[in-house]
Amino acid sequence: ELQRLDGDRVAIIDTRPWSEYRAGALPKSLSIPLSNAFPTEAGSFIEPDCEITLITPPHELDGVIRALVRVGLDHITGWARPEAVRAADGLQTLEEIDVVEAQRRLAAGEWRMLDVRRASEAAEVRIPDVPQIAHTRLAAQLDDLPRDKPLVVHCRSGARSARACSLLRRHGLTVANLAGGILAWEQAAPVERSAG
């Protein structure tokens, strides 16, 4: 039954940890693991009138529903245990790459990069010539994204960019998450720092 969900019509929220999600997820599902940021991320990724199917453990279900209702997401029409996803056919993986591979793809002109940190973070330290859109604003700015090449997506440590990758993939973009984010990048590659 999970395989028949229409990810264009139903927002499928997968609360499993990133490592499990990226190893095999339902097509067009959103990776939004449970954390303090869960309501904000769900509220920024999903339209209020959209139907929602949850993938979350039974003991977390009530809390997840309450968190969604608090941000106006109350059209919850389905639920599945994480085990049901692992047993499903047609799962998709989501690529995560290290700095060396990201540099190779960027240098070859095969990919572009996107920074999904907040503007204040990008003002302090940034990778040169990389556009920035906060991950919580991506859904509203999908039309502004370049679609001519796949995107390497980064944030500070790789967590927010992982969520952003699931959103971007849901909307048809080819993406890879930068493992370790800008913290890993600045250990091996140039960054720009603010003068302040």
Q: Which domain CATH number covers 145?
A: 3.40.250.10
Considering the domain architecture, whether residues 57 and 137 belong to the same structural domain is answered as no
State which residues form the domain around 70: 2-86
Same domain, 123 and 152: yes
Among 58, 86, 114, the domain-final residue is 86
Examine the domain organization and report whether 132 and 54 are in the same domain: no
Instruction: Single out the residue in 59, 86, 113 at which a domain terminates.
Output: 86
In this structure, are 53 and 82 located in the same domain?
A: yes
Report whether 135 contacts 108 (CB < 8 A).
no
Question: Which is more confident, 191 or 8?
Answer: 191
pLDDT of res. 196: 64
Which residues are known catalytic residues? 155
Number of structural domains, the chain? 2
In this predicted model, what pLDDT tens digit does every residue of 60-101 receive, in sequence order? 999 999 999 999 999 999 999 999 999 998 999 999 999 999
> Would the pLDDT of 3 be above 70?
no
* Co-location of 34 and 17 in the same domain: yes
Rounded CA separation 21/102 (Å): 21
**Whether pLDDT at 134 is above 80:** yes
Q: Are residues 78 and 104 in the same domain?
A: no
Q: Please say which residue of 86, 118, 146 terminates a domain.
A: 86
Q: Is the pLDDT of residue 141 over 70?
A: yes
Residue 7 reports pLDDT greater than 80: no
Residue 39 burial (CB count, 10 A): 19
Least confident window among 4-13, 30-39, 44-53, 174-183: 4-13
